[in-house]
Amino acid sequence: MLRDTPSTVYLKDYLPPEFLIDQVMLWFDLDETETRVRSRLELRRNPAAQSRSPDLRLHGEQLELISLSLDGQPVAPAGYLQDDEGLTVRQVPDQFVLESEVRILPQQNTALEGLYKSGGLFCTQCEAEGFRKITWYLDRPDVMSRFTTTICADKQRYPVLLSNGNPSDTVELEDGRHRITWTDPFPKPAYLFALVAGDLRAIEDSHTTPSGREVTLRIYVEPENIDKCDHAMASLKRAMAWDEQQYGREYDLDIYMIVAVNDFNMGAMENKGLNIFNSKFVLASPATATDRDFQGIESVIAHEYFHNWTGNRITCRDWFQLSLKEGLTVFRDQEFSADMGSRGVKRIEDVRLLRAHQFAEDAGPMAHPVRPDSYMEINNFYTVTVYEKGAEVVRMQANLLGPEAFRGGTDLYFERFDGQAVTTDDFVQCMADAGQRDLGQFKRWYSQAGTPELTIQGVYDAAQQTYTLTVEQHCPATPGQPDKEPFLIPLAVGLLDDRGTDLALRLAGDSDPGPTTRMLEISEPRQQFVFEQVPVAPVPSLLRGFSAPVKVRFDYSNEQLMFLMAHDSDGFSRWDAAQTLAQRILLQLVDDPDSLVPEGFVQAFRQALQDSASDPALLAEVLTLPAESYLGDQMAEVDVEGIHRAREQLKTLLASELKTELLAVYRDNEVTGEYRPDADAIGRRSLRNLALGYLMQLEDQAIQALCIAQYRAGNNMTDVITALSLLADRDIPETAELLEGFYQQWRDDPLVLDKWFSLQAMSKRPDTLERVKGLLDHPAFSIANPNKVRSLIGAFCSGNPVRFHAADGAGYRFLSDRVLELDQLNPQVAARMVRLMTRWQRYDPARQRLMQTQLERILHTSGVSRDVYEIVSKSLE
């Protein structure tokens, strides 16, 4: 906990390590009161070091030193100095062996970083800087070493003992304990170290790689969950085959293990050969998991697997380079999911997430570049910017190079840097070399924060048969970056003729007509593109496939948007036109509840609902109105109540105008037979449940009965939880009883209860905050469990804007109380939660003051963590 103001770490201060570690041997003695960790490090001076101090400085926190020796000789007390953050060993030789023993207390580790207990299991989370809570070490990613790990524990409580690499035989010891040694042949940074001990069961399968290596695949879970691992295993096998096919990358050890734990700060962790997962991203059965859960598992399993090459074999030089592995790996998992399901829908979902969260981050006090240049607490930089915008930055390179050169670029990257810790510049250089082009300007995407805005105008010259697009780019200022240099932006455009057909695009100077979609390269503040031989005034389709993470401003008429909605050959752009139009209508309704909704809009929705040929999943996306929080982001000052009212109003209007069509869609899209999470069934369920959501706006008893019937009949969690959520929004007499029944049915399944907490937290009912407060005391709730915190507190504060931002400030007080409580236990999760209050400048003066008051209260609480301090202090600057 904090004593002084935390210091800031800068990228510009990076220096190579003074020492390297060739070998690490670790011995763990796991016990109920304490754990002993012995380590043996083979150290030598780094020939590439740029500085030379006589002493060795190692990281280490919350370690109780038991013994320390250098080359077999105990180090005298004058020979070392221990402080809160590490250990200095004085006057060390150029090459030596350092042995130490420390005592740590995993049972008391509520921060869930380092070695900790989750239920009856021992497990670890070392990224980014958790290894230093296990033993003294050079805990930085550019120190890569070979690890040998011996674990000793009580055999009955901990029959399974796991670490990275390959296992030796177990040795039975006399006192009821047993011991095993794991050897990882691949040098790795300490953040990829993992250890698990517990009473676990595993399902096993195998995969043969193209080079003929037979890999044993194991998923370890607690015994009661053994029947919920099949989807995760099938996903892993698909991911392995896909990476072989798409990137020519195969797995490199004889065994690949995944362990599911209930207490985990994030989604999952790619430790070499031993991934540790939040159980939410492993466990699934049709009765307990929704379609989203099934998809989430497939994508996170793939993400962690893909890290073996993009993260582990080639890792980050320092934590400023985090997007080197995360942006690239997210891009890879997005493409994998697109190939496994519906590509168009996947792109829409990813863009929706990016716009909702990353654009908001880019416009707020925590805005930072994809490669940040400073931080106080690195855990605060596992952000949507580093991950999702980072993925878009990789995608843009693929857009600029084309698929073949992009694959050439990744091949080059693996060849050039295997076994090394490198930078985002190194990655881009591979792309530049493979694409044979200069990407110097492109690299600004890594160094400049903020969302660029493109203002585009189109002029048709009938006499010349030309269409001229004028594109201007501008990027708003972000903290510490008042002025931005122009970006290199790939802008995919098409032109539709008056029948909605794509025109072949011929740019001035082209000898032949080109393809119907062109990737324009925007590099100047202002640029013009002249299309020739354009027979009619076209409607431009801009930013097809969301070719760059930018905002586009083009003065479309409502009619043009409806035309694009109906005709654009690009699925993403059809959806985007619908969103733009819906947003325009909603913002008008916010201003004036009596403003008229264009009849064409309702008609477009009607046509879409009646079009039996269209893909249900895509249709569900088109018919989903922009979220309240996203609408708020489009306003100069967020009108919390106005937005809620307008959105409800439009939903109700659409429901009453389109009741017949919605009921038909509901009827026609029932999915019968055994539950399957395939693209077709998921699409139909999502469309059907969307229709039910609109219909429930009508407060119609027959429809409520339908909803209750769906709840009762549901053979899958998607339908059940949708129905229950819709019921929980309303004052329907049955709701209380159904909620209680659901709890009784699922009281032993923590992941299902997470959904139960969330749907109550997101209820539109006016008394939701009181209910949420009541649920804090529910026996199934625990503030020590991150999933529970996210499901109840997170869901309320981020998923229920109209209740969280209540004018009396009760929501803000609630959040700051929870943050202060949580910060004592788990600073990482506390810092996540406090972010939900940091965009106070977007609100009216009264709400601003209420939020500032709470933020100041947190900042001035003594002992606030570095994690929370950084977020709160930056938000108040």
DSSP state, 735? H
Task: Say which entry of ligand ARG, Zn ion, none residue 148 contacts (CB below 5 to 8 A, set by partner kind).
Answer: none
Residue 600 C-beta: closest distance to ligand ARG, Å:
44
Task: Say which entry of Zn ion, ligand ARG, none residue 28 contacts (CB below 5 to 8 A, set by partner kind).
Answer: none
CA distance 286 to 362: 38
Q: Which of 268, 276, 665, 696 is in the footprint of ligand ARG by CB under 6 A? A: 268
The residue among 158 and 281 lying less far from Zn ion, judged by its C-beta, is 281
Specify which residues 519 forms β-bridges with.
Answer: 492
Q: Residue 690's closest CA among 718, 717, 711?
A: 718
Residue 382 C-beta: closest distance to ligand ARG, Å:
4
Task: Say which entry of ligand ARG, Zn ion, none residue 379 contacts (CB below 5 to 8 A, set by partner kind).
Answer: ligand ARG
Pick out residues in 381-410 that bind ligand ARG (CB under 6 A): 382
Q: Residue 295's closest CA among 306, 279, 310, 284?
A: 284
Task: Say which entry of ligand ARG, Zn ion, none residue 644 contacts (CB below 5 to 8 A, set by partner kind).
Answer: none
Taking residues 310 to 349 in sequence order and writing x for each that binds ligand ARG by CB under 6 A, - otherwise, the string is ----------------x-----------------------
Q: Which of 266, 282, 643, 868 is in the footprint of ligand ARG by CB under 6 A? A: 266
Characterise 480 by phi-psi region: left (phi > 0), alpha (psi -120 to 50), beta (else).
left
Q: Would you say 174 and 51 are in contact if contact means Cβ atoms under 8 Å apart?
A: no
Q: Which of 145, 299, 308, 379 is in the footprint of ligand ARG by CB under 6 A? A: 379
Q: Interface with ligand ARG by CB under 6 A: which range of 8-16, 71-79, 201-209, 265-273?
A: 265-273
Q: Residue 432's closest CA among 492, 319, 424?
A: 424
Task: Say which entry of ligand ARG, Zn ion, none residue 382 contacts (CB below 5 to 8 A, set by partner kind).
Answer: ligand ARG
Residue 271 C-beta: closest distance to Zn ion, Å:
12
The backbone torsions φ and ψ at residue 628, rounded to the nearest 5 degrees and listed phi first, read -60, -45
The residue among 269 and 534 lying less far from ligand ARG, judged by its C-beta, is 269
DSSP 683-716: HHHHHHHHHHHHHGGG--HHHHHHHHHHHHH-SS
The residue among 322 and 376 lying less far from Zn ion, judged by its C-beta, is 322
Task: Say which entry of Zn ion, ligand ARG, none residue 142 contacts (CB below 5 to 8 A, set by partner kind).
Answer: none
The residue among 150 and 787 lying less far from ligand ARG, judged by its C-beta, is 787
Task: Say which entry of Zn ion, ligand ARG, none residue 505 contacts (CB below 5 to 8 A, set by partner kind).
Answer: none
Catalytic (active site) residue 304: yes
The residue among 389 and 574 lying less far from ligand ARG, judged by its C-beta, is 389
Residue 266 C-beta: closest distance to ligand ARG, Å:
4
CA distance 281 to 300: 7
Task: Say which entry of ligand ARG, Zn ion, none residue 573 contacts (CB below 5 to 8 A, set by partner kind).
Answer: none
Q: Which of 18, 61, 243, 270 is in the footprint of ligand ARG by CB under 6 A? A: 270
Q: Interface with ligand ARG by CB under 6 A: which range of 266-274, 280-288, 579-587, 862-870?
A: 266-274
Q: Which residues bind Zn ion (CB under 5 A)?
A: 326, 329
SS3 634: coil
SS3 175: coil
For residue 128, state whether it binds ligand ARG (rule: CB under 6 A): yes
CB pairs under 8 A, 24+ apart, for 474-477?
A: 474/525, 475/448, 475/450, 475/451, 476/363, 476/450, 476/451, 477/450
Q: Interface with ligand ARG by CB under 6 A: which range of 267-275, 281-289, 448-456, 733-741?
A: 267-275
Neighbours of 711 (CB within 10 A): 21
Residue 274 C-beta: closest distance to ligand ARG, Å:
13
For residue 236, state whether it binds ligand ARG (rule: CB under 6 A): no
CA 867 to each of CA 111, 188, 828, 871: distance values in angstroms, whole numbers, following the listed order: 12, 26, 6, 7
CA distance 283 to 680: 22
What residue type is 395 in one-letter code?
A: R
Strand order in the sheet with 255-261: 201-208, 214-221, 255-261, 274-278, 268-269
Task: Say which entry of ligand ARG, Zn ion, none residue 128 contacts (CB below 5 to 8 A, set by partner kind).
Answer: ligand ARG
For residue 139, state whether it binds ligand ARG (rule: CB under 6 A): no
Neighbours of 51 (CB within 10 A): 8
Q: Would you say 470 and 527 are in contact if contact means Cβ atoms under 8 Å apart?
A: yes
CB pairs under 8 A, 24+ apart, for 593-602?
A: 593/645, 593/646, 593/649, 597/650, 597/653, 598/558, 600/558, 600/559, 600/562, 601/558, 601/562, 602/653, 602/654, 602/657, 602/658
Q: Would you say 275 and 257 are in contact if contact means Cβ atoms under 8 Å apart?
A: yes
Output the CA torsion 576→581→584→587 (10° steps).
-90
The residue among 314 and 717 lying less far from Zn ion, judged by its C-beta, is 314
* Residue of 304, 349, 621, 661 marked catalytic: 304
Neighbours of 70 (CB within 10 A): 20
Residue 275 C-beta: closest distance to ligand ARG, Å:
9
Q: Would you say 314 and 7 are in contact if contact means Cβ atoms under 8 Å apart?
A: no
The residue among 259 and 753 lying less far from Zn ion, judged by its C-beta, is 259
The residue number whose beta carbon is nearest to ligand ARG equals 382
Q: Which of 151, 161, 269, 454 is in the footprint of ligand ARG by CB under 6 A? A: 269
Task: Say which entry of Zn ion, ligand ARG, none residue 401 contacts (CB below 5 to 8 A, set by partner kind).
Answer: none
Residue 323 C-beta: closest distance to ligand ARG, Å:
11
Q: Which of 18, 61, 127, 252 is in the footprint of ligand ARG by CB under 6 A? A: 127
Q: Interface with ligand ARG by CB under 6 A: which range of 18-26, 262-270, 349-357, 419-427?
A: 262-270
CA 303 to each of CA 323, 336, 446, 779: distance values in angstroms, whole numbers, following the listed order: 14, 9, 21, 34
Give the active site residues: 304
For ligand ARG, the binding residues (CB under 6 A) are 127-128, 266, 268-270, 303-304, 326, 379, 382
